[in-house]
Amino acid sequence: MVAAHHYQIWPRDPGAHLFVVQVTVSNPDPDGQVFAMPAWIPGSYMIRDYAKHVVAVRAEADGREVAIEKLDKSRWRAAPTDRELKFTLEIFAHDESVRGAHLDVTHAFFNGTCVFPQVTGQEHKTCRLEIHPPEAPLGKHWRVATSMRRDGAEQYGFGRYIAHDYAELIDHPVEIGLLSIGEFEAAGVPHAIAIRGNTRVDMARLCHDLQTICEHHLGFLGVPADLDRYLFLLNAPGSGYGGLEHRWSSSLICGRDNLPARGDEGVSDEYRTFLGLVSHEYFHLWNVKRMKPAVFTPYDLAQETYTGLLWVFEGVTSYYDDLALLRSGLITIESYLELLGKTITRVMRAGGRHRQSVEESSFDAWTKFYKQDANAPNAIVSYYAKGALIALCLDLKLRAETEGGKSLDDVMQAAWREWGETGVGMPEGGFEELAAEISGVDLADFFDATVRGTGELPLESLLKSHGIAYHLRQSSGGQDNGGKPSTDDNLPTVWLGANLGTRNGATVFLSVNNDGPAERAGVSPGDELVALDGLRINMAGCEARTRRYHPGDKSEVTVFRGDELMSMKLKWLEAPADTCYLEVQSEVAGDIELRRKSWLGQ
């Protein structure tokens, strides 16, 4: 029996945002124990170098200081000792995202990747964690929410917790503060949601809706053998949005007013977005947390890990997140088609889909999708949005070609049996092979075109074969994200070919579309728009004014580039039909109607 590592964390100085963390190692490496902080957190594919927030380190054995050598940006080595070694860090925590750690006088939140050093070479050992309260009087009513197994701590209390190994230790984010907690069961498994923030939410309704989503997914892919609990951690500030998946929990952020209050009925657009986020992160407990790319088994948290498969893990998850809301009865068909229309619009508006495939986008996530610059709309495609549409096309193609015999549901269930239940990583290309094998359909050309190609997806014909009409129209302006027919009887016929935004009160070109009117005129990202045809203009005014021009008309655009005033000649071009909406076709043949019902679970 090897002794466990003993980790402790103190919210030492909330005013200065400092955690103190200590790990005690019973049998340190005789050559000098190495400690390492992760460079990234699973689920967010960017190098974040969490060691950069470490402000002090110290090591001791038998009460005597042990020398430490810094090996590189993320690692330290303590001098050799045959005694029990204590390694202590002070860590600055002021990142309120789901990927970070945050401490102030109102709460504490941390991901293990941000605060717990890895005991290199002994990662397989059990990790005990002791969570200490802040110094009184702070934290008198604070509670602790985490999916980590208790090892002496009371429920929602400070004290001792335990994880099987280091990988598990860092997969349980912890929220500590004034929490509202709701509990429910799904398929017999205890679930909870812990909310930070003064939300005045209708907790009974929230738990009911979450239970509906969880039971739907549990019914689809089955209860994983080790899923004996699940926790949603929700931070609900004034505004914000984000989520990160874990095996037994997820961290979510949404605006507090997006949650339903008591007496609210119906599903607002904002609450629908939140339910989609819940559905998305929960689906990940199968798709990417237990079934994952082979290169992630195990994770190498010291450096980038490349895979062309993120479109499967994020795209397929993004397809099922909203579809589950419809299939479980939380939203209507019209509402679902609106969401789908918006996703199609998002993809249609990014010219980068003609430059980059989703396989390339997955591979280069580290430097492109997660590090977007002003050229991103021209250069990259989202493996989330286009990945979701590839999943849709695959689902509909299988349903059509097997006459309803097989669907993406069958492929996902088979994938779960093959790589999820076994824990064997999915090889690159494995998903495509399995889809062909399960369905008996030759999918080689389909995957070459959609996953490795950059052409348009066969959405219109596939949707039509399922009784859904596909329409494209021109955009009515910056607030128009698609999904609905236009109510505007005077849609602009021309466009600038640029994304405008407001910075410090100024109207700025955030990005400029390749080969659009603005780029041809000489406008650069970052230019401040000052006037159009000699008249001062702002963002709203520009949209209104655009309606007065027609294709071929010429204008003078005046911008500040830095402090230089510049005027450019712009020729207006016809606005592209890049805005999608979908409709249920009312009169369709019986077999098409059956197919539609089977797909949408009606």
Q: Which of 545, 542, 570 is nearest to 556 (CA)?
A: 570
Closest to Zn ion by CB, 74 or 307:
307
Q: What span, in angstroms and rounded, lies between the C-alpha atoms of 309 and 295?
A: 10
DSSP annotation of 41: B
Sign of CA dihedral 309, 315, 316, 318: positive
Q: What secondary structure does DSSP assign to 263-308, as a single string? A: T--S--HHHHHHHHHHHHHHHTTTBTTTB-BGGGSS--TTS----S
How many residues appear in the chain? 602
Which structure tokens are listed for 304? 């980038």
Closest distance to Zn ion from the beta carbon of 512 (Å): 29
SS3 of residue 323 by DSSP: helix
Residues 19/101, Cβ–Cβ less than 8 Å: yes
**Of 175 and 314, CB closest to Zn ion:** 314
- How distant, in Å, are the alpha carbons of 242, 295, 469, 550 from that of 331? 21, 37, 19, 40
Neighbour tally for 73: CB within 10 Å: 12
What is the smallest separation between the CB atom of 281 and Zn ion, expressed in angstroms?
A: 7
Of the two residues 142 and 283, which places its CB atom closer to Zn ion in the complex? 283
Q: Is the four-CA dihedral 235, 191, 601, 204 of positive or negative sign?
A: negative
Minimum gap (Å) between residue 335 Cβ and Zn ion: 21
Three-state DSSP at 544 gives helix
User: Structure tokens of 324?
Assistant: 């589950």
State the minimum distance, in angstroms, from the CB of residue 411 to Zn ion: 19
Residue 236 Cβ, how far from Zn ion at the closest point, in Å?
Answer: 20
Q: Which is nearer to Zn ion, 108 or 408 (CB)?
A: 408
Least distance (Å) from Zn ion to the CB of residue 121? 32
- Sheet with 174-177, strands from edge to edge, namely 101-104, 107-110, 174-177, 143-145
Residue nearest to Zn ion (CB): 314
Shortest gap between Cβ of 392 and Zn ion (angstroms)?
17
Of 153 and 310, the one with the shorter C-beta distance to Zn ion is 310
CB of 311 to Zn ion, least distance (A): 11
Cα 501 to Cα 186: distance, rounded to the nearest angstrom = 44
Are 82 and 12 spatial neighbours (Cβ–Cβ below 8 Å)?
no
- Find out whether 407 and 438 touch, Cβ atoms under 8 Å: no
Q: Are 231 and 186 contacting, i.e. CB atoms less than 8 angstroms apart?
A: no
Return the number of the residue (383 or 581) whose C-beta is nearest Zn ion.
Answer: 383
Q: What residues have CB less than 8 Å from 498, skipping those under 6 apart?
A: 509, 510, 511, 512, 513, 516, 518, 519, 523
- Which positions touch Zn ion (CB under 5 A)? 314
Q: How far is the CB of 252 from Zn ion (least distance, A)?
A: 12
Nearer to Zn ion by Cβ, of 90 and 314: the residue is 314
Choose between 240 and 525: whose C-beta lies nearer to Zn ion: 240
| CA dihedral angle for residue 88, residue 89, residue 90, residue 95, rounded to 10 degrees | -140
Give whichever of 92 and 283 is closer to Zn ion, judged by the CB atom: 283
Q: Minimum distance between the CB of residue 99 and Zn ion, rounded to whole angstroms?
A: 12
Q: Of 95 and 314, which has the nearer Cβ to Zn ion?
A: 314
**Given the complex with Zn ion, which of 314 and 322 has the nearer CB atom?**
314
- Measured from the CB atom, the residue of 60 and 314 that comes closer to Zn ion is 314
According to DSSP, the β-strands at 75-78 and 34-36 are antiparallel
- Residue 65, exposed/middle/buried by CB under 10 A (0-12, 13-18, 19+)? exposed
b/e per residue, 80-109, with b = 16+ CB within 10 A? Answer: ebeeebbbbbbbbbebbbbbbbbbbeebbb
Instruction: Tell the smallest beta-carbon distance from residue 482 to Zn ion (Å).
Output: 22
CB of 111 to Zn ion, least distance (A): 16
- Please, which residue, 43 or 517, has the CB nearer to Zn ion? 43
82 Cβ neighbours under 8 A, 6+ residues apart = 28, 30
CB of 314 to Zn ion, least distance (A): 5
What residues are paired with 253 via a beta bridge?
Answer: 235, 242
